[in-house]
Amino acid sequence: MLSFELLARIRKELFLTGSALYETIVAIAERVNRKVHILRLHSQATAILNQTHAIHRHIGQRVAALAAKPAAGMHPAASELAMLQDAIRTASDRIKGQQAALQVVERQIRELKIELAHEDLLTMQRELGLRDAGIERVVVARGAPVIGHPIGEFDLPAATRIVAVFRGPFLLPLSQTMTLRPDDIVILVGLRHDLVHWLPHFQQPAASKSA
């Protein structure tokens, strides 16, 4: 018969395994929910833009109809011009409201994308830790040697890569011609000894580096 100690240990291991599985499922579900939320926000932004275009189109049609009257030998009545002015003012207010709503949606999309990017970086960091590699987040200092040079010209070791650049709240698209600015946040991945060697290029001003 199994001893009480062995039963207790098996029960504890099953509980821990179940907890880890549950946490993994929750993490996956949260990530999927974020992506679904981003898709919904994109759809919402598209709807706002379509509504704005519809307002512009409606006003444009009314303006064109009145502008065509003189060509047909007719003159717009004062009441028609007044109604058009009221319609333009109303349309302007509606468009301002749509623009404000669009800015809110865009900010939410940006925040969710940054959250997903940070999650990816944390996962990558855990995996790299098993290979004597690492991931570093560094803020570009003013006067750092890397400023003003295309990242494609950086003499990085073969195993070291710039995987992301944040400028303020924005995740920038990477390219070989991108140049860094002070206060940019750079995410580097590579072997630990290579990262230790390269981080000062982003952190220290060129004058102090040569001193």
Nearest CA to 201 out of 159, 162, 158 is that of 162
Intervals of CATH 1.20.58 along the chain: 4-126
Higher pLDDT, 56 or 24: 56
pLDDT at position 32: 60
Higher pLDDT, 37 or 57: 57
pTM: 0.43
pLDDT at position 48: 86
Intervals of CATH 3.30.70.1450 along the chain: 132-210
- What's the whole-number average pLDDT of the chain? 76
> Which residue's structure tokens are 């924005």?
170
The CATH classification of domain 132-210, taken from the options 3.40.50.12140, 3.30.70.1450, 3.40.190.290, 3.10.20.30:
3.30.70.1450
Indicate the DSSP class of residue 147. B
CATH of domain 4-126: 1.20.58
| ∠ Cα 171 172 177 (to 5°) | 160
Mean pLDDT of 14-20: 48
Q: How far apart are CA 182 and CA 102, in angstroms?
A: 29
Q: Has residue 128 got a pLDDT over 80?
A: no
| Interval 154-184: pLDDT, tens | 888 877 888 888 888 788 888 889 999 999 9
The alpha carbons of the chain give a radius of gyration, in whole angstroms, of: 29
pLDDT at position 179: 92
Is residue 184 classed as helix, strand or coil in its secondary structure? coil
Higher pLDDT, 145 or 23: 145
| Interval 53-93: pLDDT, tens | 888 888 888 888 877 877 667 777 788 888 888 888 888 88
Burial classification of residue 25, based on how many CB atoms lie within 10 Å of its CB (0-12 exposed, 13-18 middle, 19 or more buried): exposed
Confidence of residue 206 (pLDDT cuts 50, 70, 90): low
**167 and 201 in contact (C-beta within 8 Å)?**
no
pLDDT at position 30: 60
pLDDT at position 11: 52
Q: Has residue 44 got a pLDDT over 50?
A: yes
Instruction: Work out the number of other CB atoms within 10 angstroms of the CB of residue 69.
Output: 13
Q: How far apart are CA 103 and CA 118, in angstroms?
A: 23
